[in-house]
Amino acid sequence: MEYITDKIIFPNKILLDCMVIPIFETYKLSKITENINQISNNYILNILKENNIKGKINQNITLYNIPNILCKKILIVGCGIKDELNRYKNKLVIHNTINILKKFFLKEIYWYLTDVKINNLNLYWNIRDTIDTIEHDTYQFKKFKKNKNFFKAKIKFIINNTNKNIYHVAIKHSKAINLGIKKAKDLANLPPNICTPKFLSKKAKKLTTKYKNISVKIFDKKDLKQIGMNAYLAVSKGSKNKPFMSIIEYHNNDSQPIVLLGKGITFDSGGLSLKPSTNMSEMKYDMCGAAAVYGTICTIAELQLPINIIAILAGCENMPGNNAYRPGDIIKTLSGTTVEITNTDAEGRLVLCDILTYIKKYNPKYVIDIATLTGACVIALGNNISGLMSNNKILSNKIIKASLETNDRVWELPIDDIDYINQLKSNFANLINSSSSNSAGAITAACFLSKFTNKYNWAHIDIAGTAWYYINNKAIASGRPINMLSQFLINQI
């Protein structure tokens, strides 16, 4: 979709394709709706009453040939009780609107729904929510379909001198964020036979051709071996698809960098601790952390934010095979800490721990890793809220703030209790990679990572429940938490 602004137009003087205008219960007309009602000699109100469209959410009507109005179609959308419209209900309103608009073949839509006042939401966030919701509702992944038709239109917002700056900034931010989200979704939805660790690294490398202030270094198996990333390499051993780590540097001033690290397991079979076959295909999404980091860097580069980011894609595949790492193996990580493998399906933390050690050299201001790390996080928080775990209150509060602003929600879980750490004790090595108790699995995974992050301010976001969702019972990538991460970075300046 394209989003543009326009000056006030007169629907009785200019021929328009389509207008979307709001009404409230009971028969309360908004300013534009009142205006059209007057020009049309009460036609609007009469039709609404005849059809018993009072203005409830879910009620709507499309009108044609309105007296004295040149606009071809006017979609009147119910927004419920005026004083009760909140962020959640507003999303429903937009959702209903898009479902109707999808059926028409429209080029231009004059969108008046951002004129309504929403409780506890200012105009800037109203516009951001609107664009997010439209983009979310119209996303399709048609790379492997014969029919590649998309619903694509120009959405026009009407501005005046007092609100035009708000519109311009909100649209600029939303465009960049939703571009990042779309790129991440398109990457994550690819099948695992195409989206391999090598493919991820190629996507990273391609960023350098589009953005002058991005440079990318790719580390292959040999490079990882040379650094000493034995935990990362152990996970890759069962697969023919070799591991590739991509370090994307976005440089736009001289401040301390923020490191974003994404788990990029392009397929997680579980390895020798093989997963059951039910829903195993969803484990192509085990690279959604890397996809989110990739999408976020696209957003930041579009906005050219004056910050420094080190974005890392930890590409790897977890497969069984005659050379696969085994339960019982003991591995010496890059930090020197030894790990006894108790479950080859707890592979994400192994790939991440070596990189968390490696990035100390950047002297980072903050480090945030994003990972589909544990099924336990889905049990704890469900499919709409990501897990947040951190060793620094200032950082976690900033993440929570960005998550509330964007409604890309996170919930903080504690990691500082000694009981959690005790679950990771090994008889033979410094740590085990997977606790035998099945309590607090999201937290013990984060505690494992925390053993490698004591040199800097770090937060871990477990997106196992939020990285994808279901349409008709079938999985599709969500692009989360790019909205939150981008906002966190916008808030840095």
The catalytic site residues sit at 275, 349
Place of tokens 């035998």: 436
State yes or no: residue 286 binds ligand BES (CB under 6 A): yes
CB of 86 to ligand BES, least distance (A): 31
In contact, 235 and 315? CB cutoff 8 Å: no
- Considering the rule CB under 6 A, would residue 320 count as an interface residue with ligand BES? no
Size of the site for Zn ion (CB under 5 A): 4
Q: How far is the CB of 265 from Zn ion (least distance, A)?
A: 5
Q: Would you call 25 helix, strand, or coil by DSSP?
A: strand
The yes or no reply on residue 464 touching ligand BES (CB under 6 A) is yes
- Among Zn ion, Mn ion, ligand BES, none, what does residue 441 contact (CB within 5–8 Å per kind)? ligand BES
Nearest to 114 by CA among 81, 157, 163: 157
Q: Which is nearer to Mn ion, 282 or 405 (CB)?
A: 282
Q: Interface with Zn ion includes 462 (CB under 5 A)?
A: no
Task: Between 317 and 347, name the residue whose CB sits nearer to Mn ion.
Answer: 347
- CA distances from residue 239 to 43, 44, 288 in whole angstroms, order as listed: 68, 65, 19
Quick check: 346 binds ligand BES (CB under 6 A)?
Answer: yes
DSSP 285-297: GGGHHHHHHHHHH
For residue 82, report the phi and psi dihedrals to the nearest 5 degrees.
Answer: -50, -50
Is residue 387 a contact residue for ligand BES (CB under 6 A)?
Answer: no
Using the minimum distance from each CB to Zn ion, give the nearer residue, 303 or 350. Answer: 350
Q: CA angle, 260 as apex, 274 and 415 as ends, to 5°? A: 65
Structure tokens at 259: 């490191």
Range 342-361, binding Mn ion (CB under 5 A): 345, 347
Residue 369 binding Mn ion, by CB under 5 A: no
Phi, psi (degrees; rounded to nearest 5) at 141: -115, 100
Considering the rule CB under 5 A, would residue 302 count as an interface residue with Mn ion?
Answer: no
- CA atoms 272, 352, 451, 445: torsion sign: negative
* Other beta carbons less than 10 A from residue 168's beta carbon: 14
Determine, following the binding rule CB under 5 A, whether residue 369 of this chain makes contact with Zn ion. no
Which is nearer to ligand BES, 12 or 343 (by Cβ)? Answer: 343
By beta-carbon proximity to Zn ion, the closer residue of 286 and 302 is 286
User: What amino acid is encoded at 146 in this protein?
Assistant: K
Which one of ligand BES, Zn ion, Mn ion, none is in contact with 410 (Cβ closer than 5 to 8 A by kind)? Answer: none
Q: How far apart are CA 479 and CA 477, in angstroms?
A: 6
The residue behind tokens 């429903």 is 92
Tell me how far apart the alpha carbons of residues 178 and 184 are, in angstroms, rounded to a whole number. Answer: 10
Q: Which does 375 bind (CB under 5 to 8 A by kind): Zn ion, Mn ion, ligand BES, none?
A: ligand BES
Residues that bind Zn ion (CB under 5 A): 265, 268, 286, 348
Residues that bind ligand BES (CB under 6 A): 268, 286, 343, 345-348, 372-376, 378, 434, 441, 464
Residues that bind Mn ion (CB under 5 A): 268, 345, 347
